[in-house]
Amino acid sequence: MSVTVQSQERRAAIERARRASRLVENALRFRELGLLAALAVVVAVTTIDNPRFLSAQSIRDLLLNASIVALLTVGQTLVVITRNVDLSVGSVLGLTAFVTGNLFVDHPGLPIVAALLVGILIGVACGAINGGITAVGRVPSLVVTLGTLYVFRGIDYAFAGGRQVNAENLPDSLLSLGSGRVLGVPYLAIVTVAVVAVAAWALRSYRWGRELYAIGSNPDAAVLAGVPVGRRVLAAFVASGAVAGLAGALWTARFGTVDAAAGTGFELQVIAAVVVGGVAIFGGSGTVVGAALGALLLSTIGSALVVLRVPAFWLQAIAGALLLGAIALDRLIGLRLASALRQRSVRDGG
Partner 1 sequence: MAQADGERSAPPADGPAGRPLLALEAATKSFGSVRALQDASIELFAGEAHALVGENGAGKSTLVKILAGVHQPDAGRLLLDGVEVRLGGPADARAAGVAVIYQEPTLFPDLSVAENIFMGRQPLSHDRLRLRRPPVDGIASLACMLDRRIDGRELRRRVEALMERLGVPLDPSRPARGLSIADQQIVEIAKALSFEARVIVMDEPTAALSGAEVERLFSVARALRSQGAAVLFVSHRLDEVFALCQRVTVMRDGRRVFSGPLEGLDRDDLVRRMVGRELAAMYPKEAADAGEVALSVRRLTREGVFTDVSFEVRHGEIVGLAGLVGAGRSEVARAIFGIDRRDAGEVVVDGRPLPPASPTSAMAAGVGYVPEDRRAQGLVMDLSIARNVSLASLGRLRRGPFISAGGERQLAADWAARLRLKLARFSDPAWSLSGGNQQKLVLAKWLARSPSVLIVDEPTRGIDVATKAEVHRLLSDLAGQGVAVLMISSELPEVLGMADRVLVMHEGRLRAELPRDQATEERVMFAATGSAGGVAEAAE
Binding site for partner 1 (CB under 8 A): 7, 10, 13-14, 17-18, 20-21, 24-25, 205-207, 210-211, 213-214, 216-218, 220-222, 224-227, 280, 284-285, 337-342, 344-346, 348-350
Nearest-angstrom CA–CA distance, 13 and 28:
23
Nearer to partner 1, 52 or 331 (CB): 331
> Which of residues 5 and 56 has its CB atom nearest to partner 1 in the complex?
5
Comparing C-alpha atoms, which of 60, 298, 33, 53 is closest to residue 190?
Answer: 60
DSSP helix/strand/coil, 69: helix
Give yes or no for a contact between 297 and 310, defined as CB atoms under 8 angstroms apart. no
Closest to partner 1 by CB, 198 vs 225, is 225
For 288-299, give the DSSP string. Answer: HHHHHHHHHHHH
**CA count, 13 A, side-chain hemisphere, 37:** 6
**Smallest distance, partner 1 to C-beta of residue 275, A:** 16
Q: Which amino acid is at 99?
A: V
Q: How many CB atoms lie within 10 A of CB 340?
A: 14
Q: CB 37 → partner 1: shortest distance, Å?
A: 24
Element (H or E) spanning 284, and its range?
A: none
Nearer to partner 1 (CB atom), residue 7 or residue 316: 7
CA distance 237 to 130: 6
Residue 341 C-beta: closest distance to partner 1, Å: 3
Rounded distance between C-alpha atoms, residue 246 and residue 248, angstroms: 5
Smallest separation (angstroms) from partner 1 to the CB of 81: 9
**Sign of dihedral through CA atoms 210, 215, 221, 225?**
positive
> How far apart are alpha carbons 216 and 130 in whole angstroms?
17
Q: Between 211 and 267, name the residue whose CB sits nearer to partner 1.
A: 211
Task: Quote the least distance from Cβ 276 to partner 1, whole Å.
Answer: 19
- State how far the Cα of 180 lies from the Cα of 64, in Å rounded to an integer: 11
Measured from the CB atom, is 114 or 337 closer to partner 1?
337
Nearest approach, Cβ of 32 to partner 1 (angstroms)?
16
Instruction: Quote the least distance from Cβ 233 to partner 1, whole Å.
Output: 15
Q: How far apart are CA 350 and CA 346, in angstroms?
A: 6
Find, among 192, 181, 182, 176, the residue nearest to 296 by Cα. 192
Residue with smaller CB distance to partner 1, 71 or 234: 234
For partner 1, which is the closer residue by CB, 172 or 348? 348
Considering the complex, state which of residue 258 and residue 279 has its C-beta at the smaller distance from partner 1.
Answer: 279
Q: How far is the CB of 211 from partner 1 (least distance, A)?
A: 6
Estimate to the nearest angstrom the gap between the alpha carbon of 328 and the chain centroid.
Answer: 20
CB of 213 to partner 1, least distance (A): 6
Q: Which is nearest to 95 in space by CA: 175, 134, 143, 151? A: 151
Q: Measured between alpha carbons, how far is 70 from 53 in angstroms, rounded to an integer?
A: 21
